[in-house]
Structure 1
Amino acid sequence: MIPSWIPSLPSLKYLDLSDNHFNGQLDEFKSKELVWIDLGTNYLKSPIPNSLLNQEYLMFFSLSSNNFSDDLNFSMFSNFSRLGMLNLPYNSFSWADKDQVKSNLLNFLYDLDLRSNLLQGSVPIPPSSIQNFFISHNNLSGHIPSTICNLEFLRILDLASNSLKGAIPPCFGNMSTIEVLDLRHNNLSGKIQRNFSVGNPLRSFNLRGNKFEGKIPCSLTNGKRLEVLDLGDNELNHTFPMWLGTHQT
Structure 2
Amino acid sequence: MSTLTLPGTFSLGLVRGAAEIKQFFRLREQVIFTFAFPSLLMVLLGSMLNSSMPGMAITTGQVLAAGMIGSGIVSTSFNSVGIGLAADREAGALKRLRGTPMPAASYFIGKIVLVGATSIAQVVLMSVVGVLLFDLGLPTDPAKLLTALWVFLLGVTSCTLLGIALGSVTKSVSGAVAVANLIYIALQFISGVFVTPITNLPKVMVDIASFFPVKWICQGFRSVFLPAEAASQEMAGTWELPMVALVLTAWCVAGLLLAKLTFRWSNEGK
Give the TM bin, normalised by the shorter chain.
under 0.3
TM-score (norm 1): 0.26
Of structures 1 and 2, the larger Rg is shown by 1
Higher strand fraction: Structure 1 or Structure 2? Answer: 1
Higher helix fraction: Structure 1 or Structure 2? Answer: 2
